[in-house]
Structure 1
C-alpha cells in the first residue's frame, strides 16, 4: 500500500487543504476538447461568432487532429451539450434563437490562464 498517495476517498484530494473550487470547476470545464476548441475560437475571433461558424471551425480542428467529423453533428453537440455547459459556467453567453455565441471574460476566474496552457499544448492557436 502506498501511504504517500493523497487521500481521495471523499471524492477530492487533500480534504480541506485550500484547493480552490473555482480551479476544480475550470479544470472540469476544460477537460473536454470540444469545449476548449469553442473557447479558442471565441478568443481568436474577438468574442462573438455564429453557431454555424463555430461548428465549422471546431469540426475543422477535430479533423486536423485525426478525428474526421461532420459539422452538423458538431453543431448538434454544441447546441445541446457543450454550449449549455459553458453557459452554465458563465464562460459564454449563448443565444439559441439568434444563433450567436459570445465569450464572457472574467478576470476573477482562472479559465484564461489554463486555456492558454492548453492552447500551447494542443498547438491550435
Structure 2
C-alpha cells in the first residue's frame, strides 16, 4: 500500500476517534471537554471519514501520481484537522488573518490538486 492509502487509513482512524469523542459528548453538558462548536467537530469527523475513503479508493485505482498524492495528503490532513479544531476555536481563522489565509490556501490547493488528477485521468496524460 502506498502513502495515499496509508494516509487514508490514518484519516479513517482519526474519524473513528473523533466519533467516539462526539458520542461521549452527547451525554455531557454543553462545553464538556471545552468543545465550543459541536457542529465544527462533527464536520471534522465527517471530513476525516470521507477523505479517508476517497484516498483509499484513489490509491486502489492508481490514478494519482506521487506529487499529487503528497499535495493531497498535506492539504487533506490540514483540512480535517483545522475543521475539527474549530470545535474548540470556532473563530480562529477570523481572529488571525494568517490563519484565514492559510485555510484558504490549503483548501484551494486541495481542490486544485483534484482538478489536476481529474484532467490527467480524463485526458490520459
Instruction: Output the TM-score relative to the length of structure 1.
Output: 0.29
Greater relative CO (CA pairs within 8 A, separation 6+): 2
Which structure has the highest helix share of the two?
2
When the two structures are superposed, what TM-score results if normalisation uses the length of structure 2?
0.29
